[in-house]
Amino acid sequence: MVSSTDIAQRIIEAVLAQRLAPGTRLGEQSLSMLFDCSRTLVREALVRLAARGIVTVSSRRGWYVVQPSHDEARDAFEARRVIETGLIRSARDIDKNALRRLRQHLKQEQASLKGDDVGQRSYLLGDFHVCLAECLGNQLLADTLRDFTARTTLIAMLYQSNHDAVQSCQDHVDIVAALERGDTETAEQLMATHIGQVQAALRLGAPNDPLADLREALAPVREAGAPATRKRPRKGDASSSSTNETYLGALL
């Protein structure tokens, strides 16, 4: 039997894999049918996720995935920077089993770069940070990082380009290599730079601009041959759904 913890975990995984976009409605009835469980269990899972800042509820709209604001985006990345650099700074020598696990994770990341499953690639790149925290021996902060990583994934919204994914993976390789040779100072600097680069790559519009969407929609049409400024969602993507319903089928 599925538990509320299982449901919450599957929703987190869907967010990390970018299969649930910000603002996606999470209907209790739909989820209870997908997971073949009672609405009570679904509600328990959603309440738990609301406390963790992943979903929210409206008396008129029901449950839906949060849509982080400009300020929340800045705060989430700053929180990750403080937690992850602090973890590395206070790290002791990593044992062989932990290093073996990190290397295996890196192999999975590298393999995902050669495949077409963008969701798996996104999940692995985000989960590296959780895996690293666990390998450094702090399960509590690993759980906290899982939530913050999910939030920053929601902030990113669009899939990473292949180049960005390759760079992220290489950053992870460099961080693990520094830890393996006991150079925590370099590993800490690499992590701070890595998180900063991910944040800098986001196209966060001007905060509190009520005309942002309309302004972009009415911008002059680009000339032939000019680079596109925005990727059109593909049919079937969670963000392109007209009803914006849950997209958990690929995970079930």
Instruction: For the chain, give the secondary structure using H, E and C.
Output: CCCHHHHHHHHHHHHHCCCCCCCCECCHHHHHHHHCCCHHHHHHHHHHHHHCCCEEEECCCEEEECCCCHHHHHHHHHHHHHHHHHHHHCCCCCCHHHHHHHHHHHHHHHHHHCCCCHHHHHHHHHHHHHHHHHHCCCHHHHHHHHHHHHHHHHHHCCCCCHHHHHHHHHHHHHHHHHHHCCCHHHHHHHHHHHHHHHHHCCCCCCCCCCCHHHHHHCCCCCCCCCCCCCCCCCCCCHHHCCCCCCCCHHHC
Burial 1-26 (b: 16+ CB within 10 A, else e): eeebeebbebbbbbbbbbbbbbebbb
Pair (49, 82) in one structural domain:
no
What radius of gyration do the chain's Cα atoms show? Answer: 19
83 has a pLDDT exceeding 90: yes
Pair (23, 136) in one structural domain:
no
Phi-psi region of 232 (alpha: psi -120 to 50; beta: other; left: phi over 0): beta
Looking up residue 76, the CATH number of its domain turns out to be 1.20.120.530
Pair (12, 130) in one structural domain:
no
Pair (74, 58) in one structural domain:
no
Q: Tens of pLDDT along 1-31?
A: 899 999 999 999 999 888 888 889 999 999 9
Pair (92, 15) in one structural domain:
no
Smallest Cα–Cα separation from 234: which of 2, 19, 1?
Answer: 19
Least confident stretch, 109-118, 161-170, 199-208: 199-208
Residue 98 inside a domain? The answer is yes
Pair (130, 80) in one structural domain:
yes
Residue 27 inside a domain? The answer is yes
Which of residues 67, 96, 112 is at a domain's end?
67
Least confident stretch, 127-131, 161-165, 172-176: 161-165
Residue 77 inside a domain? The answer is yes
Pair (61, 141) in one structural domain:
no
Q: Record the pTM.
A: 0.73
Looking up residue 9, the CATH number of its domain turns out to be 1.10.10.10
Smallest Cα–Cα separation from 150: which of 131, 126, 132?
Answer: 126
Q: What percent of the chain has pLDDT over 70?
A: 79
Residue 217 inside a domain? The answer is no
Pair (80, 95) in one structural domain:
yes
Residue 228 inside a domain? The answer is no
Pair (74, 60) in one structural domain:
no
Alpha carbons 54 and 42: distance in angstroms, whole number? 15
Mean pLDDT across the chain: 82
Residue 44 inside a domain? The answer is yes
Pair (82, 37) in one structural domain:
no
Average pLDDT for residues 92-108, to the nearest whole number?
92
Which of residues 154, 177, 200 is at a domain's end?
200
Between 130 and 206, the higher pLDDT residue: 130
Least confident stretch, 24-28, 152-156, 179-183, 225-229: 225-229
Which of residues 12, 35, 67 is at a domain's end?
67
Residue 161: per-residue pLDDT: 42
Distances (CA, A) of 151 to 41, 79, 80, 174: 23, 11, 10, 24
pLDDT band of residue 102 (cuts 50, 70, 90) is: very high
> Torsions phi, psi of 244, nearest 5?
55, 40
23: domain range? 4-67
Number of separate domains in the chain: 2
Pair (187, 78) in one structural domain:
yes
Q: Tens of pLDDT along 186-229?
A: 999 999 999 988 888 776 554 455 566 666 677 787 655 555 55
Residue 213 inside a domain? The answer is no
Between 93 and 31, the higher pLDDT residue: 31
Pair (46, 93) in one structural domain:
no
